[in-house]
């Protein structure tokens, strides 16, 4: 099985597929699956742009809408998690995952699915300590505060993932697990990203919940993005004599190492169908009572209390899930367009209201679990909008909004030969340091990991404007060249048992 792993997509879906198709043709290979590690930007129309936490000048439609509308078809099964630059209103329709377009599947706030015999788990969003214990209280239309907090990881999602007992082969997160830099070439990373030093030395670079899951789940592979650079590491788990191969990738831009091809053993092949995971669905069902939609801290149960705190399902509970679902296979037939497709210059809606997604409704009915968004709406006495039938069904404003087409001016140079060696630490690059490639191989040598001096300053200057938030997630000038919500605030709130 060959899989492609993408870092931050930033809406450049068309370019990513072009790169993969070029690789397949040149190397005579077939890639079975594309995995994207956040900042996917599944923007369907102008309204979705208003649900993205980026300055208005960077609210670009990009190319996802072509796959949502049916203008183009995704040439390869694509699985992604959410990051911190997303159309949050759309992703909130699918808290437990679902198709955002034909052949493009979102894992949900947290999720586990199977592709053939490959088991993939994911955690969407980024970690911010001050929001971690809160309930899932956000809903469209967003305030300036909720526009950002909606993509912050919550303890419920991490608690659910911590109940997994069956082996996880691939784990996905947007931000890095805290402390992961100790297991790779940290000095080389600091040569390329010197502004990481303070956070690395104070052990504040990365996600605390992801660190917890790394040592608990011990997946074979862990893929991440967010910090806009490539970094590889190997974490050895002495107690189980196993190891986790970690790889972070850059964003989709020329001369950036944003795409990696991996050749996995044939034992993972199976039927190469996408399927729900019975253990995960049983955990969702077992923990449904822990769901909170209140804007207050909600502590998960643990040892020493007077309530159940272990929710790993029994074999009987997993068999019950199979019975309830009737089939675990996930087919494109369940995809429904819930909002209008993009039209240049189209008017925008009067208000950004939550839309009911039939995929979520169906899953919740089968499992007997709650849709967080429906609970929020019911508590507020509001009604969710039904999926649209045609554009005339959508209440619109009279003021038009123009939207630029392109995210970035990308050219598509010839990609390099993909790496097929699973051992990240021994992968050899076939490119010279100055080769202008769109997708690159993995190498930890300083000369091959450096960004060409001629382009570094340009990217840093652009990112300074694009990724400096205007509310509570400010970053210092020295760190503005990365897409990073200030890691210094990424501390878990104090609590007592």
pTM for this structure?
0.82
User: Which residue do the tokens 């969710």 mark?
Assistant: 384
Cis peptide before 141 (omega within 30 of 0): yes
Q: At what angle do helices 358-367 and 315-325 cross, to 10 degrees?
A: 130
CB 321 within 8 A of CB 282: yes
pLDDT the model gives residue 435: 30
State the Cα–Cα distance between residues 273 and 264, nearest whole angstrom: 16
Q: What local confidence, expressed as pLDDT, does residue 352 receive?
A: 85
- Tens digit of pLDDT for each residue in 45-79? 999 999 999 988 888 999 999 999 999 999 999 99
Mean pLDDT of 271-294: 98
d(C-alpha 389, C-alpha 337), whole Å? 9
Q: Please give the Cα distance from 328 to 276 (Å, whole number).
A: 5
pLDDT, tens digit, 9 for 90 and up, residues 332-380: 999 999 999 998 877 777 678 999 999 999 999 999 999 999 999 999 9
Instruction: Check residue 311 and give its pLDDT.
Output: 98
Rounded mean pLDDT, 32-48: 97
Q: Which of 56-65, 105-114, 230-239 has the lowest mean pLDDT?
A: 56-65
Cβ atoms of 132 and 458 closer than 8 Å = no
Q: What pLDDT shows up at residue 139? A: 96
Element (H, E) at 121: strand 118-123
What is the model's pLDDT at position 305?
85
Q: What is the pLDDT of residue 57?
A: 84
- Give the Cβ contact number of residue 301 at 10 Å: 15
Reported as a single tens digit per residue, the pLDDT across 420-462 is: 344 454 333 323 223 333 344 333 333 333 333 333 333 333 3
Q: What is the pLDDT of residue 488?
A: 43
- The label of the residue with tokens 């000038």 reads 477
DSSP assignment of 375-396:
HHHHHHT--PBPPPSSGGGS-E
Side by side, which strands form the sheet with 259-263?
A: 98-101, 104-106, 78-80, 33-36, 2-6, 259-263
What does the alpha-carbon distance between residue 417 and residue 302 come to, in Å, rounded to a whole number? 49
> What is the model's pLDDT at position 88?
98
Contact 39, 253 (CB under 8 A): no
The answer to whether the CB of 184 falls within 8 A of the CB of 236 is no
CA distance 436 to 257: 10
Rounded Cα–Cα distance for residues 188 and 177 (Å): 18
Owner of token pair 């993932």? 161
DSSP 99: E
Report CA-CA distances (Å) from 465 to 1, 371, 469, 475: 40, 36, 9, 11
pLDDT given at position 152: 98
Lowest-pLDDT choice from 90-94, 98-102, 447-451: 447-451
Find all residues with CB under 8 Å of 206, minimum gap 6, and list them: 175, 176, 177, 178, 179, 180, 181, 487, 490
Give the pLDDT confidence score for residue 438 in this predicted structure.
39
Q: What is the pLDDT of residues 388-422, one digit of tens each?
A: 765 433 333 323 333 333 344 433 334 443 443 44
Say if residues 388 and 339 touch (Cβ distance below 8 Å).
yes
pLDDT at 350: 64
> How many other C-beta atoms lie within 10 A of the C-beta of residue 202?
10
pLDDT for the residue 351 = 72
> How many whole angstroms separate alpha carbon 18 and alpha carbon 23?
9
Contact 53, 39 (CB under 8 A): no
Question: Could you give the CA distance from residue 346 to residue 73 in angstroms, rounded to a whole number?
Answer: 23
H helix or E strand, kind and range, residue 270:
none
Q: How crowded is residue 437: how many other Cβ atoms within 10 Å of its Cβ?
A: 21
pLDDT of residue 434: 30
Decide if pLDDT at 481 tops 60: no
Q: Can you give the pLDDT at residue 455?
A: 38
> CA 487 to CA 430: how far, in whole Å?
34
């Amino acid at each position: 099985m060959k899989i492609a792993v993408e870092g931050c997509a930033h809406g450049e879906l068309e370019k990513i597929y072009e790169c993969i198709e070029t690789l397949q043709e040149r190397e005579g290979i077939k890639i079975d699956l594309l995995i994207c590690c956040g900042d996917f930007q599944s923007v369907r129309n102008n309204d979705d742009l208003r649900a993205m936490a980026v300055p208005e000048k960077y609210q670009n439609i990009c190319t996802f809408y072509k796959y949502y509308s049916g203008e183009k078809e995704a040439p390869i099964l694509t699985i992604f998690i959410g990051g911190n630059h997303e159309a949050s209103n759309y992703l909130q329709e699918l808290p437990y995952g679902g198709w955002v377009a034909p052949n493009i599947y979102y894992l949900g706030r947290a999720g586990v699915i199977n592709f053939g015999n490959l088991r993939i788990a994911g955690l969407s969003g980024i970690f911010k300590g001050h929001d971690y214990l809160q309930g899932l209280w956000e809903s469209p239309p967003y305030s300036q505060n909720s526009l950002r907090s909606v993509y912050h990881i919550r303890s419920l999602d991490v608690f659910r993932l911590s109940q997994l007992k069956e082996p996880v082969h691939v784990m996905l997160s947007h931000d890095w697990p805290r402390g992961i830099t100790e297991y790779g070439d940290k000095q080389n990373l600091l040569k390329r990203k010197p502004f990481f030093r303070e956070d690395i030395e104070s052990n504040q670079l990365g996600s605390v919940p992801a660190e917890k899951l790394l040592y608990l789940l011990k997946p074979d592979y862990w893929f991440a993005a967010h910090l806009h650079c490539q970094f590889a590491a190997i974490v050895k788990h002495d107690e189980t004599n196993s190891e986790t191969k970690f790889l972070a990738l850059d964003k989709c831009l020329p001369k950036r190492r944003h795409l990696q091809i991996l050749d996995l053993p044939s034992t993972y092949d199976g039927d190469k169908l996408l399927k729900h995971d019975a253990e995960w669905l049983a955990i969702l069902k077992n923990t449904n009572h822990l769901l909170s939609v209140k804007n207050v801290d909600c502590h998960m149960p643990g040892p020493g209390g007077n309530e159940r705190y272990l929710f790993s399902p029994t074999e009987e509970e997993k068999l019950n899930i199979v019975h309830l679902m009737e089939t675990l296979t996930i087919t494109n037939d369940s995809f429904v367009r819930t909002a209008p497709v993009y039209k240049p210059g189209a008017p925008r809606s009067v208000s950004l209201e939550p839309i009911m997604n039939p995929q979520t409704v169906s899953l919740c009915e089968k499992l007997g679990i709650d849709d967080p968004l429906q609970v929020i709406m019911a508590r507020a006495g509001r009604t969710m909008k039904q999926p649209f039938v045609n554009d005339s069904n959508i209440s619109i404003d009279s003021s038009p909004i123009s939207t630029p087409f392109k995210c970035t001016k990308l050219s598509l140079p010839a990609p390099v030969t993909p790496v097929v060696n699973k051992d990240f630490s021994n992968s050899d690059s076939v490119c010279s340091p100055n080769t202008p490639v769109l997708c690159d191989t993995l190498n930890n040598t300083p000369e091959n990991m450096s960004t060409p001096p001629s382009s570094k300053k340009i990217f840093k200057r652009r990112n300074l404007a694009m990724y400096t938030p205007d509310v509570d997630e400010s970053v210092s000038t020295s760190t503005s060249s990365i897409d990073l919500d200030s890691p210094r605030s990424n501390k878990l709130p104090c609590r007592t048992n």
